[in-house]
Amino acid sequence: MTNFIDLSSVTDFSTMPVAIRDRVNSLTPRERKYFRTMWPKSGVLYITSKPGIAKSAIARTIAEKMGFRYMDLRLSMADETDFKFPFLKEAKDGIRDIKVSGYAVPEWAFEANQQPTIIHFEELNRAPQFVRNAALQILLERQIGDFKFNNTVLMMASGNLGDEDGTDVEEFDNALNNRLVHYSHTLSATEWIDGFAKENIHSVILSYIKAYPEKLYQNPTENTKAFATPRSWTFLSDFIVQNFGKESTPREFITDLMEVAHGYIGNGAQRFIQYCQEMINITIQDVIDRYDKIEKELDKYNRDKNSELINSLKEYEIKKFSDKQLDNVTKFLKRVGEDELTAYLLHILDNVPDVSDAKVKKFMQNFRDVLINIKRINKPSDSSDKKSSK
């Protein structure tokens, strides 16, 4: 549950509670720039990008990190009454009763005033004009009729690029443009991975984008409506995780992937499917017999593939390997994570009857530091020694 902080007495950044200022420091440079632009409530933060480049995601992330509620209003699907609803009320002019019109405040506006909130007006340049005008009045004046938004409510807007990204947009005139604070929103593969994907995206997709960062976004083509973006990669990841599990491997989902991937990422699907097939096709026998020839391929693979290969390696008797094969296995183990290496060495210690065998001993000496650490961790404490001696 988000912990909201009372900002009602804050007048400028210098009077902001230390807890909030600390949260600002936790933002990425781009997130910090956007938050600091919203904070003065002077001018309107307006970010534009191609579709699927995480405009909504970064706004939501800023809100979560800062302890603000996040509201998104999708203007292309909104109606004017979502922003102000007209009604009639009775009034007296001293002589007679007359009916006058007013505006009811929408529930979302009332709720925004109850706690620190970031309101994101999405697709500003794709909304019908009457909707856009209603939204702009709120963005620029920070009020609806007599209702005024609190100092704890921050606002921003976003839009698409138009011809450059194949979307239909309305061009703003100079007067409006001068009231907006314009930023071109981009998202590198590194930013996406560090800021979102590590925690939320299936590891196979994560390792693929790490190996091929240029595949994160690919422009649509004439023969497909689907195309790769951070958003569509996230959708595909959700498909894999919800149907096969977060720890699933390509062997489990490759058949379904071949059926659906194109619908998510368009022409980007072919290379990703090939990548998953390569992960399946490289076996532990390839590691044992021809490590040098497949080393570059292994560079592309993730922890899951290493774990799969190590589990397969446990099925082999180490004393039956040739010197060349042992050398290949040693090279492979030196590339995996320390926890995976430790697990394999413990397997050898627990399952090989004679670890003093010359071949086994020579092999284990390649990992002397890890073995010393294993021995230190498993060494009985002084207290347990004393108890055992009694």
H, E, C per residue of the chain: CCCCCCCCCCCCHHHCCHHHHHHHHCCCHHHHHHHHHHCCCCCEEEEECCCCCCHHHHHHHHHHHHCCEEEEEEHHHCCHHHCCEEEEEEEECCCCEEEEEEEECCHHHHHHCCCCEEEEEECHHHCCHHHHHHHHHHHHHCEECCEECCCCEEEEEEECCCHHHCCCCCCCCHHHHCCEEEEECCCCHHHHHHHHHHHHCCHHHHHHHHHCHHHCCCCCCCCCCCCCCHHHHHHHHHHHHHHHCCCCCHHHHHHHHHHHHHHHHHHHHHHHHHHHHHHHHCCHHHHHHHHHHHHHHHCCCCHHHHHHHHHHHCCCCHHHCCHHHHHHHHHHHCCCCHHHHHHHHHHHHHHCCCCCCHHHHHHHHHHHHHHHHHHHHHCCCHHHHHHHHC
Q: Is the pLDDT of residue 191 over 70?
A: yes
Per-residue CA distances from 28 to 20, 25, 123, 199 (Å): 15, 8, 24, 16
Q: What is the mean pLDDT of the chain?
A: 85
Q: Is residue 305 part of a domain?
A: no
Q: Which of 156, 184, 212 is the last residue of a domain?
A: 184
Q: Is residue 266 part of a domain?
A: yes
**What is the spatial distance between Cα 117 and Cα 115, in angstroms, rounded to a whole number?**
6
Q: In this structure, how many other beta carbons lie within 10 angstroms of the beta carbon of residue 120? A: 23
Same-domain check for residues 202 and 118: no
Same-domain check for residues 317 and 221: no
Same-domain check for residues 167 and 240: no
Mean pLDDT lowest for which of 92-101, 210-219, 275-284, 365-374?
92-101
Same-domain check for residues 68 and 143: yes
Q: Is the pLDDT of residue 84 over 80?
A: no
Tell me, what's the pLDDT at 105? 86
Q: Is residue 298 part of a domain?
A: no
Same-domain check for residues 127 and 168: yes
With CA atoms as reference, report the closest residue to 318 among 338, 291, 348, 287: 348
Same-domain check for residues 371 and 344: yes
**What's this model's pTM, rounded to 2 decimal places?**
0.66
Q: Is residue 101 part of a domain?
A: no
Same-domain check for residues 224 and 360: no
Q: Is the pLDDT of residue 389 over 50?
A: no
What digits encode the pLDDT tens for the residues 225-270? Answer: 899 999 999 999 999 999 999 888 888 999 999 999 999 999 999 9
Q: Is residue 327 part of a domain?
A: yes
Q: Is residue 93 part of a domain?
A: no
> Which is it for the CA torsion 21, 23, 27, 31, positive or negative?
negative
Domain count, the chain: 3
Q: Which residues of 142-172 are buried (b: 16+ CB within 10 A; e: fewer)?
A: bebeebebeebbbbbbbbbeeeebebebeeb
Tell me, what's the pLDDT at 11? 55
Q: Which amino acid is at 201?
A: I
Q: Yes or no: say if 219 and 227 are a contact pair by the CB < 8 Å rule.
A: yes
Q: Is the pLDDT of residue 22 over 90?
A: no
Same-domain check for residues 177 and 213: no
Per-residue CA distances from 288 to 102, 110, 208, 331, 376 (Å): 79, 66, 24, 10, 30
Same-domain check for residues 158 and 33: yes
**Segments forming the whole domain that contains residue 175:** 13-78+111-184
Same-domain check for residues 143 and 74: yes
Q: Is residue 230 part of a domain?
A: yes
Same-domain check for residues 274 and 365: no
Same-domain check for residues 180 and 203: no
Q: Yes or no: say if 120 and 158 are a contact pair by the CB < 8 Å rule.
A: yes
Structure tokens at 90: 């009775």
The residue ranking higher by pLDDT, 89 or 331, is 331
Q: Which of 131, 166, 184 is the last residue of a domain?
A: 184
Mean pLDDT score, 4-24:
64
Per-residue CA distances from 386 to 376, 383, 390 (Å): 18, 5, 6
Q: Which of 122, 152, 184 is the last residue of a domain?
A: 184
CATH (domain of 56): 3.40.50.300
Q: Is the pLDDT of residue 345 over 60?
A: yes
Q: Is the pLDDT of residue 327 over 90?
A: yes
